[in-house]
A and B are shown apart, each in its own frame.
Chain A
């Protein structure tokens, strides 16, 4: 079973088709499965049919225009969804009992974001969608809740914080690149949920650390990062080479 970040809804929509059909019962059971501790990731990995085969090597180019910004968001959501799906799939979790269902819920949110963006890209920018990314989580120790000072790998909470902070900074930095108010609106609807996740995870690591309290932060203002800076970080967790040089152009 591969770790490929396959979308749960494997039949990507064609332009012009109604979107109502896109979340099907099967997808729903996958979301429910993620909540229950099985994972969208595992289920998807068992499925054979795919319209966007990925390879572990090669370049991922994001293209230009709004399609590139959406694909950029889609890449980050793929990464987050795969990470949380893997956490939710752990048979032995280092997380506290109260945290397990919350992480399962976050896994579901991220899977929904990923599928929503994939559907929007396929509907409005047919043919431009990036391939499924292959995650590279070898810098994360899924047996550790939090990294100890001597550890070289991130614990689950450290990695979750890294992904959520990266997501918030990425959306905050990319919104100005979007030309269409529709997508700006969607980005706004998603980013505040990412921020809620970020605050939750931060509070788990250190109670009261929910927002902008680290070196380099401006008091009261979350970070924003340009795509190049975000992808430099994201690259650490993806096998393919990410080329975002034309995002938003």
Chain B
């Protein structure tokens, strides 16, 4: 079965059960759910082998997409938050993320794997407990605060998909991940452009020239996960494991001639643990 037709089918009827086609992948995922097999291990060196499985990858990505769906849903529902001129932008990004979530959910369901319960999202960072400190103030009342959070979650999305490109060995899911990965980057660039047009010091790509998004210490995990280490001139295969020819770009950090473009030209992955810390801020 061609991926494209699978996706078309998804677009038409995201909630329907799959016909039989993707049994191999589904078996993989199901097995992973039970036995936590490191499916990517054969393709990776021992040093680089992560402990994550395909199941871990799909569930974390599902949480990411559900988080983005919830943010855009709540944002669009908040009166006066998103300007009329940009309502369509967020409706479209919401539609994209809904598609992504549907694909991931379907992969889990078809595999007979455990599907995580849809969490209750709280974008204040209070974890739905009113007495907890507010880590992300005014997300649903201030458009600038909303955009800043949206940008960080999209950047985080780019990095999580980048991390899992190595773990997913199923060719159809790999292709789907790649095609989603670049869409997340397009969302991030668009939101960065919206912020720039409102006076924020920010580029369309992560750059050391961007003004930092100031967060309380307890919310710093999001910034770390979204853009931490983007300024690096060393390129990483997986988080913490430099590519063997990393020294190619080292000159950017050890010379007076410093060009931010070197680091901008490559986006970085994020480890699943760092990503999870960030995602946990909103559930």
Contact = CB atoms under 8 A, between A and B. Distances in A.
Q: Secondary structure of the A side of the interface?
A: helix
Contacts of B99: 219-221
Interface stretch (B71-79, B132-140, B171-179, B270-278): B171-179
B43 to A, nearest CB: 6
Contact of B247 (A19, A28, A108, A181): A19
Nearest to B188: A196
Interface string B262-283: 1011111100000000000000
Contacts of B183: 195, 211-212, 220-222
A224 interface: yes
Contacts of B188: 196, 199
Interface residues of A, number: 59
Contact of A20 (B4, B171, B251, B257): B251
Contacts of A193: 185, 205, 264-267
Contact of B86 (A105, A112, A208, A221): A208
A202 B189 CA distance: 11
Contacts of B235: 185-186, 189
Nearest to B11: A219
Interface residues of B, number: 65
Interface string B25-36: 000000000000
Interface string B146-185: 0000000000001000100110000100111011111111
A115 to B, nearest CB: 9
A168 interface: yes
Interface centre among A35, A105, A194 (most CB of B within 10 A): A105
A194 B183 CA distance: 11
A105 B264 contact: yes
A188 B165 contact: yes
A60 B244 CA distance: 28
Contacts of A25: 257
Contacts of A62: none
B204 A199 contact: yes
Interface in B235-254: 235-238, 243-245, 247-251
Given A200-B189, A211-B187, A220-B97, A119 B248 contact: yes
B244 A182 contact: yes
Interface centre among A19, A25, A182, A196 (most CB of B within 10 A): A196
Given A19-B247, A172-B175, A182-B237, 4 more contacts: A108-B265, A116-B248, A200-B204, A219-B95
12 contacts: A124-B245, A175-B175, A185-B235, A188-B162, A188-B267, A196-B186, A199-B186, A203-B189, A203-B193, A212-B96, A222-B180, A222-B186
